[in-house]
Amino acid sequence: MTEYKDAVEEQRLILQAEKWAKEIKSIHIHSLSSMWYDDRPEDTADGKMVTDTEYNDNRIVREQDGKIIHTWGEEKSDKELLQSFLTNTA
């Protein structure tokens, strides 16, 4: 039974990391076109407001008028996500 202990522990950590990744790191409501990640200045042209939500896995989701209009970043592999989780929660 102990031969599965490491695999079970790794899977437990991956499940925790997946939950952590979906948690919100920050929310920024603004009309700026100068955000470090922003390559879409047209979203905030003429003072239009957007909501940028950053998640723990570093994805940023932009919404305007309650609709998702763009996402920066990609989902990470289990290995990448686990490394990020362990680095940021230790």
Condensed to tens digits (0 to 9), the pLDDT of residues 6-62 reads 889 999 999 999 999 999 999 999 999 888 999 999 999 999 999 999 999 999 999
Q: Residue 25's pLDDT is what?
A: 96
Ordered by start, the domain boundaries in the chain are: 10-89
Q: Residue 3's pLDDT is what?
A: 78
Q: In this model, does residue 1 exceed pLDDT 70?
A: no
Distance CA 26, CA 18 (A): 18
> pTM for this one?
0.86
Structure tokens at 48: 């239009």
The CA radius of gyration of the chain, in Å to the nearest whole number, is 17
Beta strands in 1-90 (DSSP E): 24-30, 50-55, 60-64, 67-72
